[in-house]
């Protein structure tokens, strides 16, 4: 039986092209669980994988989609039965293994997590990899201690940033949202940000290694000069959870904030999280993230719209979370 998928192919000149095509089920990769996918999402990495791959994709043709929620259709693993609702993020699915931009996926049972009963599949994917990562960042900040003062979120109107703002605000923190989009102010206040910081206020070549102690914690989705400058603005002993590099991979920073202010730089990796962490994390998302705030972030899309949206996300033009209805 054939199903529809967004297939990325590479021609003999090395150019990639993504289009929606029927794919025969026997072409699915190896795995012990076959899932009927309901929703996937668009993340920054998906933008890379829909295009030339950014070094992430090994083999073509390729089906991107680094996360999905769906229903188990067949399982060779005792942990899952047909009809079970499952969610997947990480494990390089959508990069080196075919992913969620398809009506069917086949994966290893170890990579799946049962969907908490409180979450429906659309909301689970509104969270998706970006939200899962935001929750990981919040938990990392909590375990290192969030200090007095506002918690800063950079790249706030993007996927990780939006969910980060909503979770931190729901937990009662004062949240300062950094954005390069002045028109996103109402949106960010609606998610719970109490202060909007223009990108230019932070994003400048670092001139002094230490500035005023301002932020009690930070989720940084931007990296580069933004992260370097934020390090010098943290309160004594506060932590920055470094999540992404939307603004650059190099870090032109000084060691002084670490030496004189005891600042912690916490690396966040959502890809290789063991099952127990994933399960605990999804359960916390189900309880700590208000669904009305999540709803405000959602933009729905079809498989056909993904090539355009993939290019948009790489240019920082996508607001909130794009949920892909693979059956639309
Ligand atoms: P989005 O594109 O949705 O959000 C990124 C945001 O960063 C943009 O919306 C924009 O926010 C801001 N931004 C973009 N370009 C620049 C720039 N040049 N300078 C300053 N700010 C910029 O991406 P995601 O939220 O999905 O991902 C963010 C980052 O996190 C990516 O690098 C991604 O690869 C990474 N990531 C890492 C994960 C992990 O496991 N560590 C998991 C998921 C994502 P605004 O318009 O508000 O300024």
For a pocket test of ligand 1, which of 88, 175, 244 has the largest count of ligand atoms closer than 8 A to its C-beta? 244
**Average pLDDT rounded to a whole number, residues 39-68:** 94
Report whether residue 75 contacts ligand 1, using a CB cutoff of 6 Å.
Answer: no
**Average pLDDT rounded to a whole number, residues 56-78:** 97
d(CA 96, CA 271): 12
d(CA 147, CA 239): 8
Q: What percent of the chain has pLDDT above 90? A: 94
Residue 170: the pLDDT is 95
Residue of higher predicted confidence among 237 and 291: 237
Residue 19: the pLDDT is 97
Distance of CA 99 to the CA centre of its chain: 15
**Average pLDDT rounded to a whole number, residues 229-244:** 97
Report whether residue 179 contacts ligand 1, using a CB cutoff of 6 Å.
Answer: yes
pTM over 0.75: yes
**Average pLDDT rounded to a whole number, residues 192-197:** 98
Residue 313: the pLDDT is 95
Report whether residue 222 contacts ligand 1, using a CB cutoff of 6 Å.
Answer: yes
Q: Is the pLDDT of residue 242 over 90?
A: yes
Note whether 301 and 324 are within 8 A (CB): yes
- Per-residue pLDDT reduced to its tens digit, 293-324: 999 999 999 999 999 999 999 999 999 999 99
pLDDT confidence bin for 205, thresholds 50/70/90: low
Report whether residue 185 contacts ligand 1, using a CB cutoff of 6 Å.
Answer: no
Q: Is the pLDDT of residue 206 over 70?
A: no
d(CA 275, CA 5): 27
- The size of the chain, in residues, is 328
- Per-residue pLDDT reduced to its tens digit, 79-91: 999 999 999 999 9
Residue 54: the pLDDT is 80
- Per-residue pLDDT reduced to its tens digit, 131-171: 999 999 999 999 999 999 999 999 999 999 999 999 999 99
Q: Which residues contact 31 (CB under 8 A, 6 or more apart)?
A: 97, 106, 107, 108, 109
d(CA 4, CA 82): 21
pLDDT confidence bin for 77, thresholds 50/70/90: very high
Note whether 8 and 63 are within 8 A (CB): yes
Report whether residue 155 contacts ligand 1, using a CB cutoff of 6 Å.
Answer: yes
Q: What is the mean pLDDT of the chain?
A: 95
Q: Is the pLDDT of residue 122 over 80?
A: yes
Report whether residue 159 contacts ligand 1, using a CB cutoff of 6 Å.
Answer: yes
CA of 223 to the centre of ligand 1 (A): 9
Closest-lying ligand 1 atom to the alpha carbon of residue 246:
32
Own/partner long-range contacts of 177-185 (Cβ < 8 Å, ≥24 apart): 177/153, 178/152, 178/153, 178/154, 178/202, 178/203, 178/222, 178/226, 179/155, 180/316, 181/157, 181/319, 184/156, 184/157, 184/319
Gap between the terminal Cα atoms of the chain: 18
- Per-residue pLDDT reduced to its tens digit, 256-267: 999 999 999 999
Report whether residue 89 contacts ligand 1, using a CB cutoff of 6 Å.
Answer: no
Q: Is the pLDDT of residue 52 over 90?
A: no
d(CA 136, CA 130): 10
Q: Which residues contact 70 (CB under 8 A, 6 or more apart)?
A: 35, 36, 37, 38, 39, 85, 86, 105, 121
Q: 39-43, 203-207, 257-261, 268-272 — which is least confidently predicted?
A: 203-207
Quote the radius of gyration of the chain (alpha carbons, Å): 20
């Amino acid at each position: 039986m054939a199903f529809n998928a967004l297939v990325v192919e590479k021609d003999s000149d090395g150019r990639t092209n993504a289009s929606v095509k029927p794919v025969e089920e026997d072409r699915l990769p190896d795995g012990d669980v076959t899932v009927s996918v309901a929703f996937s999402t668009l993340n920054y990495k998906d933008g890379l994988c829909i295009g030339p791959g950014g070094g992430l994709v090994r083999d073509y043709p390729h089906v991107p989609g680094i996360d999905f929620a769906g229903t188990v259709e067949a399982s060779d693993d005792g942990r899952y039965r047909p009809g079970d609702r499952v969610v997947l993020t990480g494990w390089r699915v959508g990069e080196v293994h075919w992913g969620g931009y398809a009506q069917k996926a086949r994966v290893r049972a170890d990579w799946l997590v049962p969907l908490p009963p409180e979450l429906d599949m659309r909301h689970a994917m509104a969270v998706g990899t970006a939200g899962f990562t935001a929750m990981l960042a919040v938990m990392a900040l909590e375990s290192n201690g969030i200090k007095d003062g506002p918690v800063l979120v950079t790249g706030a109107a993007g996927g990780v940033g939006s969910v980060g703002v909503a979770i931190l605000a729901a937990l009662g923190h004062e949240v300062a949202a950094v954005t390069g989009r002045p028109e996103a102010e109402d949106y960010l206040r609606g998610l719970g940000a109490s202060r909007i910081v223009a990108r230019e206020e932070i994003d400048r070549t670092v001139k002094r290694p230490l500035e005023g102690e301002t932020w009690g914690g930070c989720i940084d989705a931007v990296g580069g000069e933004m992260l370097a400058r934020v390090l010098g603005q943290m309160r004594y002993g506060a932590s920055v959870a470094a999540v992404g590099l939307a603004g650059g991979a190099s870090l032109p920073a000084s060691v002084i904030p670490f030496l004189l202010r005891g600042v912690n730089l916490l690396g966040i990796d959502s890809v290789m999280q063991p099952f127990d962490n994933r399960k605990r994390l999804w359960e916390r998302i189900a309880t700590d993230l208000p669904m009305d705030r999540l709803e405000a972030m959602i933009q729905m899309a079809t498989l056909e719209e993904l090539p355009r949206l993939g290019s948009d996300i790489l240019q920082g033009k996508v607001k909130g979370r794009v949920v892909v209805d693979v059956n639309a």
